[in-house]
Structures are given as C-alpha cells and as structure tokens.
Amino acid sequence: MRFGVCAGVDVAPVLAEAGYDYIELSVAADLAPETDDSTWSAHRHRIEQMPLPVEAFNSFVRSGKIVGPEADFERLRRYVNTALERAARLGAEIIVFGSGGARHIPNGFDRAVARQQILDFLHLCADASERTGVKVAIEPLNKRECNVLNLVSEGAAYAREVARPGVGVLADTFHMECESEPLDAILAAADILLHVHTADTHRYAPGTGSYDYEALFRTLYQCGYNRRLSIECDFQGKLATLAAPALSRLKAAYAAAYKGNAQT
C-alpha cells in the first residue's frame, strides 16, 4: 500500500521527511484547468520539483455547476480535458470527483435530470481518461456537504451505469462514518474501487481517535485493494508533529490486517 496526504505543494518536504509515498494535490489550485499552459507552467515546475510524486488530485470542480440550469457542458468538457491532460503530464493516475458544490442539486430541480447531468459529466471524464490514462474516482460525500451521491453504494451504482474503465468509486471513511455506511459497502464495490481517503474521529489525524483501522485494512485486503490510501483530515495546525505518527498508525494497522500477505 502507498500512503499519502491531501495537502498543498508547500508541505511536501514535511511529508517526505515523515516517510509518505506521495502527495494528493488539488485540481482547481494546482492544475488550474481554466488557465493556459504558459500561465500554469511556473506552478507546474514547482510541482515537478517536490520531493514527493503527485499521484492523485482532488477538489476537481470548484467553480461552475455540473448539475442544474447553469451547467455548461462545453465549458466542463474543456475543463475536464485540460485537468486530465495536465494530471497525466505530472504522472498522476487518479482524480477524485467530490465537488459537492458543483454537483449539488438546486431546490426544486428535477432529480432525474440532475442524475443524467452527473452521468453526462462522468462520460466526459471517461472520454478524457481514454486519451490520458488518468481515472476519475467518484467520492460520496455526507449529506451535510452535498444532497446527492452520499454513499459508496450510490457512487458504485453511477460508476456501473457509466460502465467505462476510466470511472470508478472512492471510499472515504469519514463520509462513510457520517452516513453509518458499513465497510461491507467497500467489499460490494471491490471491482470498481479506485482510491481510498481516511481520517480518524472528528476528521482528525489517524492515531488521534478511535477509528478501527485494522477493520478497514482487513476489508481492503478482502477486496484485493493494495494501491493507495490518502489521509484527508484536519491536522489542527500540527501537521509537522502529527504526520509521522499518523503514518505509523496506518502502517501498523496495515501490517496487522494483511498479516504478511501484503505487497508494498
């Protein structure tokens, strides 16, 4: 298993020193898909100089709408194409589709139409994935953050309806706990599980709460999943001191759950 953190370019040296394998950056902030290549090139250089590889991106669509009467699919097509092309240039393999604001269904808007708009967006992603090799993982978000796609099971259903290899699902343990979704939902989505996010109790750093990481890793082992897991949490301003202990907690749980059967 490769372990990373959702963070910004500036903290990559801290994460590298703590022993992480990769960093997960932001599409909106770090790929800037609505800027031209010359404008983006300076930031691209900063990313390429990091002491850690960037293997995944989140914060996919931060402006504009995917769902509702304001959705502009030609703009989205350009945005998605540029995002995945730039991610591929940097060697990343995964883009996370959370984007709760962009996919939020407006009050009174036809939910059947909204569902089709999400599917259309995912097909845009699948088209771009075929050209770039970068895959898009649907991230279920708890109901406090978005009013659609709240469960891993729902994300899996969308991915299966798209039925294209460039689109799969993400399991985020924080959102699963918020929605009381059991780990069995990950097992049921094993064939299309692309990525995993985690945080401990209250969305704090692993090792600071009571989340059962051994159970999580036992489930991932049963799925045959052994790729990446990103911490997405609030380090409460203590990333420099909590990063290494958080990684140690995850590695200990991983070792206990996989019991010598894991391949790093």
CATH code of residue 115: 3.20.20.150
pTM: 0.96
Q: Answer whether residue 261 is part of any domain.
A: no
Q: Answer whether residue 183 is part of any domain.
A: yes
| Banded model confidence at residue 260, pLDDT cuts 50, 70, 90 | low
Query: What contacts 80, CB < 8 A, 6 or more positions away?
Result: 33, 121, 124, 125, 128
Q: Answer whether residue 255 is part of any domain.
A: no
Q: Answer whether residue 260 is part of any domain.
A: no
Q: How far apart are CA 22 and CA 42, in angstroms?
A: 21
Q: How far apart are CA 154 and CA 19, in angstroms?
A: 34
pLDDT at 261: 58
**Contact (CB, 8 A) for 199 and 233:** yes
Q: Answer whether residue 145 is part of any domain.
A: yes
Q: How far apart are CA 75 and CA 64, in angstroms?
A: 9
Q: Answer whether residue 219 is part of any domain.
A: no
228: helix, coil or strand? strand
What is the tens place of the pLDDT at every residue in 89-138? Answer: 999 999 999 999 999 999 999 999 999 999 999 999 999 999 999 999 99
**Tally of domains in the chain:** 1
Q: Answer whether residue 94 is part of any domain.
A: yes
Q: Answer whether residue 149 is part of any domain.
A: yes
Q: How far apart are CA 212 and CA 257, in angstroms?
A: 11
What is the tens place of the pLDDT at every residue in 158-181? Answer: 999 999 999 999 999 999 999 999
The parent domain of residue 127 ranges over: 2-211+225-248
Percent of the chain predicted with pLDDT > 90: 97
Amino acid, single-letter form, for residue 142: N
Sign of CA dihedral 69, 75, 77, 79: negative
